[in-house]
Amino acid sequence: MTARHAECQCGQLRVEVSGEPVRVSVCHCLNCQRRSGSAFAAQARFEDKDVTITGAATDWTRTGDNGAMTQSFCPTCGSGLYYRNESMPGLIAIPLGAFADPTFPPPHFSVFENRRHPWVSITGDDVEHD
């Protein structure tokens, strides 16, 4: 079984996941652009049972296009390390960058394409678009 590790910038908050992600995706919604500080956000979703979290986290909840989303971040360095959407119960999303692993599986799903910056192109023949 594959084990992967993600952590915040200072290393205080860590996540270990076992197995493969349920979904690897990119999101172009305005909230994800703000959350990631980029033109889109890339994340992997895992079943709660496959995730182990260590360290202290601070939570913040907002309502977005798909309902409430609770983001958990490190209170020391401010890195957003994981989040949960009420529209996807039982799953936890982890930004791909938190894994710092260039071999991580690529996204196969892209959402909120109508808000995609025109210069953004997600490569791959098997990416679904909404």
- Burial letters for 97-130: b for 16+ Cβ neighbours within 10 Å, e otherwise? bbbeeeebeebebbbbeebbeeeeebeeeeeeee
The domains found in the chain, sorted by start residue, are 3-114 (2.170.150.70)
93 bridge partner residues:
45, 83
| Cα atoms in the 13 Å half-sphere on the side-chain side of 20 | 6
- Which position has the token pair 């296009």? 65
Q: What is the pLDDT along the chain (130 residues), one digit of tens a residue?
A: 789 999 999 999 999 999 999 999 999 988 888 888 899 999 999 999 999 999 999 999 988 767 888 999 999 999 999 999 998 999 999 999 999 999 999 998 888 888 888 888 875 545 555 5
Q: What tokens does 59 get?
A: 């939570």
Distance CA 25, CA 93 (A): 10
